[in-house]
Amino acid sequence: MGGLLNGPSVSSEVEATLTRNASDYTWMAAAIGSQNAASYQLATEKPVMAIGGFNGSDPCPTLAQFKQYVTDGRIHYFLAGGGGPGGGNSAITTWVEATFKKVTVDGTTLYDLTQKAS
């Protein structure tokens, strides 16, 4: 499943990667915007944090809150892309991209929030 309201389609390879050990986390992944997050949540039937509300422009959670969730081991992956105009959460994206290991699975970019970038 996937593609909800122009959200991404989720391949079986991406689904398998995201759901591996998903029960160890509060959120299997985090994505900018609920449209982006919804596609992954529907495809995997696992919790995905929708950063920034509907189109990703609301500043919720804050960067400090997001960092704490990651430090506490509550989120496994960050899903690159998504969100709409405004980008009230660009600081989260910038921090994730600078800090964590980038993984590409079947053309989808993920950041493993348990692995620091080398």
Domain that holds residue 62: 4-116
- Is beta strand 48-51 parallel, antiparallel or unpaired with respect to 27-32? parallel
Cα pseudo-dihedral 96, 27, 55, 42, rounded to 10: 130
Q: 19, exposed or middle or buried, with CB in 10 Å at 0-12, 13-18, 19+?
A: middle
Digit-coded pLDDT (tens) for 83-104: 544 455 789 999 999 999 999 9
pTM strictly above 0.95: no
- Is beta strand 27-32 parallel, antiparallel or unpaired with respect to 75-82? parallel
In the predicted model, is pLDDT for residue 46 greater than 60? yes
Please state the domain count of the chain.
Answer: 1
